[in-house]
């Protein structure tokens, strides 16, 4: 019985990685006014950005529901698979709860769920690690134990270009956003214990902030696991490419990938965002 890896659309895995490892994606939703779209299915990163420009409504995001998980679980079980799910932090979305409810509905079916305590490729790296462990022949319980142990070692940080999306998403006041944009403030957002925090703010050019993001990661270079590093962006491929090239020159990991933030993650950070995500080495 093979093990299928399932994650949600906020993992921001590229189509190439999804296809390479046969990962199943459960979409969250994005709503513009009365129009509801499925992240990664009805809305690609490109079509999302076009919709933002043309729609009079600011997008809102919604969790995946238990029924969507049930449908996928039943299909995979009917095909003879065991199932491993890792998804967005339960502090950021109800999607993980939906995954657990659907698994409970199926009783003793071989389904395991792990709360990533993270977002974007912080989830994606865990899904990739799980897929590699499955390929190596590890059991479902072994994969659960190993990936659960990794969740506290995922490091995720983003530089936000404009404060407009943080304001429209309700994370900043109008005054904070206006003053911040005038002063060219670029916050560095970090995921800590499943929640987003802002440990640093930079005033000046986006390039300067990107440099600090790279320093944030490479100051810890001796502790970076050498398998996967992701540079994930929303409509800023140039910055992502520059950062990835510098990381590759340092030879910090075998797989240094660039991925695009999907519609859900982009709703909360906005165009021009770029992040670095990696797994720390196990010190035990």
What is the torsion angle, in degrees rounded to the nearest 10, for the CA atoms of residue 264, residue 164, residue 172 and residue 265?
10
Q: Do 47 and 68 belong together in one domain?
A: yes
Q: Do 143 and 241 belong together in one domain?
A: no
The CA–CA distances, whole Å, from 223 to 122, 158, 190, 215 equal: 16, 19, 17, 14
pTM of this prediction exceeds 0.85? yes
Q: Do 11 and 133 belong together in one domain?
A: yes
CATH classification at residue 161: 3.30.1180.10
Domain that holds residue 67: 3-151
Q: Do 41 and 85 belong together in one domain?
A: yes
Pick from 153, 201, 142: which is nearest to 177 by CA?
201
Q: Which residue has the tokens 């029924």?
A: 67
Q: Do 147 and 10 belong together in one domain?
A: yes
Q: Which of 120, 151, 182 is the last residue of a domain?
A: 151
Kindly report, residue by residue over 187-198, the tens digit of the pLDDT. 888 999 999 888
Q: Do 172 and 138 belong together in one domain?
A: no
Q: Do 146 and 164 belong together in one domain?
A: no
Count up the domains in the chain and report the number. Answer: 2
Residues in Cβ contact with 258 at an 8 Å cutoff, skipping those fewer than 6 apart: 14, 230, 231, 232, 233, 237, 240, 241, 244
Residues 234/270, Cβ–Cβ less than 8 Å = yes
Q: What is the mean pLDDT of the chain?
A: 92
Kindly report, residue by residue over 136-176, the tens digit of the pLDDT. 999 999 999 999 999 999 999 999 887 665 655 555 455 55
CATH classification at residue 14: 3.40.50.10170
Q: Do 107 and 162 belong together in one domain?
A: no
Q: Do 73 and 204 belong together in one domain?
A: no
One DSSP character per residue, 195-209 reads EEEEEEEEES-HHHH
């Amino acid at each position: 019985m093979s093990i299928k890896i399932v994650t949600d659309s906020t993992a921001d895995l590229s189509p190439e990685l999804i296809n390479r490892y046969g990962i199943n994606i459960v979409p969250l939703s994005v709503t513009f006014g009365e129009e509801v779209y499925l992240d990664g299915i009805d809305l690609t990163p490109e079509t999302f950005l076009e919709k933002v420009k043309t729609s009079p409504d600011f997008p809102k995001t919604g969790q995946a529901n238990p029924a969507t998980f049930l449908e996928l679980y039943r299909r995979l079980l009917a095909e003879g698979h065991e199932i491993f799910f890792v998804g967005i932090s339960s502090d950021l979305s109800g999607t993980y709860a939906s995954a657990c409810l659907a698994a409970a509905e199926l009783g003793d079916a071989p389904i395991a769920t792990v709360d990533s305590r993270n977002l974007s490729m912080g989830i994606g790296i865990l899904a990739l690690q799980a897929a590699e462990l499955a390929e190596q022949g590890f059991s479902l319980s072994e994969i659960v134990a190993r990936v659960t142990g990794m969740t506290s070692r995922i490091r995720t940080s983003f530089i936000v270009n404009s404060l407009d999306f943080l304001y429209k998403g309700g994370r900043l006041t109008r005054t904070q956003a206006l003053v911040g944009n005038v002063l060219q403030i670029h916050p560095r957002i970090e995921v800590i214990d499943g929640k987003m925090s802002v440990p640093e703010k930079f005033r000046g050019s986006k390039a300067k902030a990107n440099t600090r993001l790279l320093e944030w990661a490479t100051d810890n270079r001796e502790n970076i696991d050498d398998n996967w590093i992701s540079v994930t962006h929303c409509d800023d491929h140039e910055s992502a490419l520059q950062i990835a090239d510098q990381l590759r020159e340092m030879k910090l990991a075998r797989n240094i990938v660039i991925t695009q933030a999907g519609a859900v993650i982009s709703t909360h950070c906005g165009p021009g965002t770029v992040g670095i995500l990696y797994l720390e080495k196990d010190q035990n």
